[in-house]
Structure 1
Amino acid sequence: MSLLRSIATVGGYTLLSRVTGFLRDILVAGVLGAGTISDAFFVAFRFPNLFRRLFAEGAFQAAFVPLFAGLLETEGRAEARRFAQRAFSVLAVILLVFTAAIEVAMPLVMVVIAPGFDAVPGKMELATELTRIAFPYLLFISLVSLQSGVLNSLGRFAAAAAAPILLNLTLIAALLGLTPWVETPGHALAWGVCAAGVIQFAWLAWHCRRAGMAITPIVPRLTPRVRTLGKRILPVVLGGSLYQINLLIGTILASLLADGAVSWLYYADRITQLPLGVVGVAVSTALLPLLSRQLKAGNWDAAAHNQNRALEVALLMTLPAAAALMVIPGPVIATLFERGAFSPADTAATAAALAAFASGLPSYVLVKVLAPAFFAREDTVTPVRIAAAAMVANVALNLVLMQVWGHVGIALAAALSNWGNAIALAWVLHRRGQLGLDGRFKARLPRIALATALMSVALALGAWGLGQIPASGDLARATALATLVIGGLLVYGLAAQLSGAASLGEIKGMLRRRPAASSASSASSGPPEGPRG
């Protein structure tokens, strides 16, 4: 399967996941709005969901996949399966102990992650109760991440990419079916989160078995390879997941602001997650096993080519998405969420946060594309050092900017710190000789920027024109937004084709072709300079 086709497979299922996620959030916004119950649930969801993002969307796999893919390449499926089973068994024991400890300590944990909730009577207690219900999700979704790494290394991307759809469908079913039987809609959603972990685990277990890689638990043993995996997990999680850690820091600080601030940031982040998931996660998921196997086989030229194409695809799709969300955040939020308990004031507050988050969207995706270049070379030290510096910058920016712009300052601080992370990763790779931008990428980047600028002007004019037409109601808002989105896509697609930023025929060809294979010439070109530090 070619790199672009792998990206398309993961991106397609991730897009479907984001669409069902929006349906879920539209329903949640209509029932809960932005207040005490919604704030409590979103903290309860974000805490285990932080680990889902860290583990299931790439960071754990960044430690596991190079080892597993390397065994596939050098020692075959049987030895790779044995390693996966040993890692699974040790991970399961650690997660059981960790989950139990957090459940016991949850009241203290909640004081740390949502200190401002004490200002509203009953809010801290509700958040603690909902988080205790939802937290076992961590156990199952972390094991799902290992199953996903196995399937991705085998070139089977669809099942793992489709798993989050099950989460969204389960939450929708829980909100609609359990709400009359539990204390609040927040309780129904928390039970839905817990159930979704079990369902996703069963889904991936079945697909691993179908692929001839059934991962069954065995007696846990800390073999040398498992120890190596353990040494890499923590720095990889931290180094590859600055965005999620910044969101957690933002949630903590937002709990100190107005009632509803946590919810405004949550809804804005959900919109940002669409292009981040469809592009960033898809590219990272497809690129890591490919780079790992090519570097293990000594195919340096093929690895460099695929790194450039991944950057090209990421920016081709991310720059226009970021620009659109910065130009028309209001219509996007109003159309998706403004109904029921979600007020026009909530729309304005969420739209401002969305524009701030969107300014950093290209950097979030660049981190997802650049980090595999370190992980595939089994260098987990450098990204964590860079991430640590970026997190310090994020906290400092948060403390300054939230004083000026409130919750919008929190979103902007996350964007700025992640730009620093992306730039530092690129600079280190370039200095080592492990990232060289080829002629095609250098020629196409300004053309992508030009097409994005033309689309932005068209969107701004379109939004102004539609704003002159009196309209109200969900249908009118949806029609106006659809007109803007379709018009913007047409302008960007035409501008990209005419400027040479992208070619429809070339994209079709890349979807059909396999990635560059091993060759004597590529193998003989020699490795780039090795990792430092």
Structure 2
Amino acid sequence: MRLISGFFTVGFWTLASRILGFVRDVLIAGYLGTGVAHQAFVAAFTLPNLFRRFFAEGAFNMAFVPMFSKRLEAGTDPEGFASDAMSALAGILIVLTVIAQITMPWLIYAQVAGFAGTEKFDLAVAFGRAAFPYIIFISLAALLSGVLNSAGRFAAAAAAPVLLNVLFITGIVLAGALGWDIGWTLIWTVPFAGIGQLALVWWAAKRAGFSIMPHWPRWTPELKRLAVIAAPAALAGGVVQINLLVGRQVASQFDSAISWLYNADRLYQLPLGVVGIAIGIVLLPELSRRLQADDTEAGQHAFSRAGEMALALTVPSAVALFVVPLPVVGVLFERGAFTAQDTDATAIAVAVYGLGLPAFVLQKVFQPLYFARENTRTPFHYALVAMIVNAVIAIGLAPLIGYISAAIATTIAGWVMFALLRAGSRKMGEAAQFDARFKRRVWRIVAASALMGAMLVLTMLLIGPMFGIDGWRYLALLILIGIGMISYALIGHWIGAFRLSDFRNAMRRQR
């Protein structure tokens, strides 16, 4: 089945990217700790990524992919539509970048008002101006990735983020060896990495037979419809970014909290990226094609298998992040300028984010149901509700419990958003409902994950002292991960949560 094969392709490359991203973050933490340069880098680097949610994997692409997929299925000039969309997007992004260069101090203040009047603020503004052009290249690369994904060619688009992390790691190593400033080396790597990613997917699209080139923007009926569909999704993306800004503003009021939450976010983003993003990328064009062909049975099957795969891989990850965050954070990050205090604070955030991981992934499963139907208004209304929940909790609890209120708010808002998406999908008919196989397996997945969590706790009691010995803590973490994976695989297979042959067959189809 192309859905599962595509999922494994995207998941493999996303996993490679996230592992390299960990290597990158470990190196950055070792060199910069949670000091001024690291906090300024986080504020600057997240700025183009914030806008990227609108134009890359966010609003524009969520509207573009279903429209392109349907044109590809029907054979109605998909290349011309993609070229027009790329040209319009490029024009918008160039104007946005010019405006951002002028208003950078205000953009940084909107993120981290707690930095105002300190050297962190001035450095973040300078870093932001250098990094922001990345938005142009990565957004155009995302559009071309949507073209490739719609055609069932997932490898090049999924591999592009690997290039970003390879360049980051190379820059850090060179900076350390040649005595360059680490912070400035990192920030200048950002736009150059965007150029490299764009070149990679453009070449892959050309090899796939899509000759897509930008031209002077022109307003067409198709682009008008694209704008109408994308507008509510953009507003919904804006709401999501407000949630992130609220959390960052709360964190900026507490020393080093920006760095703690950033590192915790990177850790829980590993399973979210590998599973959730992979599911979303593959499922959206699949559902769009099924709707175009009016194939309800195949649509339900694709939706159910995506949900089943998502939960089978993320529920155990959530349990692990909740029950053993301290040894994981300590082994991965605690070295150089990253202290034991930083480990403790980051581990608390990891545990809280872990509780929300299934909700974040299930959102990626349910959102394509709406986007494939070119319905972007309903998710926007749901996002507004989640935004209010996030803001009330984050701001209301901050004076009582400090920086961790931002993580708690993110997790609770994530579950609220999932509940709303699930309730809304009930009106979409049988194709938007999980099938009998999913309903049989979901509770067994939860049971297998809980038993795996108990095994992890028992293992920690037995090998806990190893984590306090230099050199042995790496082996201890490998043992802990190995016990978790093996116990979950055996228990899950034994109680019927999944069949190991399902994964083997999917891998054979991928090859």
Unaligned runs of 5+ in 1: 515-533
Say if 1:68 and 1:153, in contact at 8 Å, map to a contact too.
yes
For 2:390, the equivalent position in structure 1 comes to 394
Change (3 A) 1:418 1:189: same
AA paired with 1:369? V
Contact 1:264 1:349 in 2 (8 A): yes
Question: How far 1:347 sits from its partner (Å)?
Answer: 0.3
Q: Does 1:381 align with 2:338?
A: no
Give the counterpart letter for 2:159 in structure 1: A
Q: State the secondary structure of the residue aligned to 1:339.
A: coil
1:38-437 aligned at under 5 Å gives the runs: 38-57=38-57, 59-76=59-76, 79-119=77-117, 121-178=118-175, 184-239=181-236, 245-257=242-254, 259-433=255-429, 435-437=432-434
1:110 counterpart letter in structure 2: I
Percent identity over the alignment?
45
Q: Which amino acid aligns with 2:439?
A: K
Hey, what's the Cα distance between the residues in 2 that align with 1:222 and 1:193? 32
Please say if residues 58 and 233 of structure 2, whose CA atoms lie closer than 8 Å, have aligned partners that are also in contact. no
CA contact (8 A) 1:179 1:188 kept: no
Compared with structure 1, are the counterparts of its residues 86 and 179 closer, same or farther at alpha carbon in structure 2 (3 Å cutoff)?
Answer: farther
The CA deviation string for residues 444-463 of structure 1, in whole angstroms up to 9 with x for no partner, is: 01110110010000001111
Q: Is the 8 A contact 1:59 1:241 kept in 2?
A: no
1:41 CA displacement: 0.4
**Matches of 2:104 and 2:178 in 1, distance apart?**
25
How far apart are the structure 2 equivalents of 1:511 and 1:237? 36
CA contact (8 A) 1:243 1:418 kept: no
Find the aligned partners of 1:68 and 1:444 in 2 and give their Cα distance.
Answer: 34
| Partner-residue secondary structure (3-state), 1:274 | helix
The Cα offsets for residues 69-92 of structure 1, whole Å up to 9 and x where unpaired, read as: 11011134xx10000001101111
User: Over residues 107-132 of structure 1, what are the superposed CA-to-partner deviations in whole Å (9 max), with x where a residue is unaligned?
Assistant: 1211211100025x311101000011
Instruction: Report the Cα offset of residue 502 of structure 1.
Output: 0.6
- TM-score, normalisation: structure 2: 0.96
Instruction: Name the SS for the 1:305 alignment partner.
Output: helix
**8 A Cα contact 1:283 1:368, kept in partner:** yes
User: Structure 1 segments of 4 or more deviating over 4 A?
Assistant: 178-183, 240-245, 510-514
Q: 1:54 to 1:281 in 2, by over 3 A?
A: farther
Aligned to 2:18: 18
For the 8 Å contact 2:83–2:215, the answer to whether it is kept is: yes
SS of 2:219's equivalent? coil
Q: Contact 2:83–2:213 (CA<8 Å) still a contact in 1?
A: yes
Structure whose residues are more often helix by fraction: 2
Distance 1:437 1:202 in 2: 39
Instruction: Give the Cα–Cα distance (whole angstroms) in 1 for the partners of residues 467 and 207 of structure 2.
Output: 56
CA shift in 2, pair 1:291/1:511, >3 Å:
farther
Report the Cα distance in structure 2 between the residues aligned to 1:252 and 1:6, rounded to whole angstroms: 38
Residue-by-residue CA offset, 1:242-274 (whole Å, 9 max, x unaligned) = 6655333211221122x2110000000000110
Q: CA deviation at 1:470?
A: 7.2
AA aligned to 1:38 is H
Q: Which residue is equivalent to 1:35?
A: 35
| Cα distance in 1 between the residues matched to 2:245 and 2:282 | 27
Structure 2 match to 1:454: 451
Segments of structure 2 that go 5 or more residues without pairing to the other structure are none
**CA deviation vs aligned residue, 1:188-226 (integer Å, no higher than 9, x gap):** 111011111111111111111111112111221110111
| 8 Å CA contact retained: 1:242, 1:418 | no
Q: 1:245 to 1:184 in 2, by over 3 A?
A: farther
Quote the Cα distance in structure 2 between the aligned partners of 1:209 and 1:437: 37
Give the total of aligned pairs.
509
Root-mean-square deviation (CA, aligned residues, Å) is 1.8
2: CA distance, partners of 1:369 / 1:319: 14
Q: Relative to structure 1, is the Cα distance of residues 497 and 116 closer, same or farther in structure 2, using a 3 angstrom cutoff?
A: same
Kindly state the Cα deviation for residue 237 of structure 1 after the two structures are TM-superposed.
4.0
Structure 2 residue 480 is matched with structure 1 residue 484? yes
Q: How does 1:491-530 map to 2 (within 5 A)?
A: 491-511=487-507
Q: Is the 8 A contact 2:467 2:476 kept in 1?
A: no
- Deviations along 1:289-347, one digit per CA (max 9) or x if unpaired, are 00001101111111011111111110010100000001110011111110000000000
Q: Give the AA of the match of 2:412.
A: L
Q: How far apart, CA to CA, are the structure 2 residues paired with 1:241 and 1:375?
A: 17
- What is the deviation of 1:52? 3.5
Using a 3 Å threshold, how does the CA distance of structure 1 residues 365 and 242 change in structure 2: closer, same or farther?
farther
Aligned-pair CA distance for 1:234:
3.5
**Partner Cα distance (1:299, 1:21) in 2:** 39
How far apart, CA to CA, are the structure 2 residues paired with 1:346 and 1:276? Answer: 23
Provide the TM-score with structure 1 as the length reference.
0.92
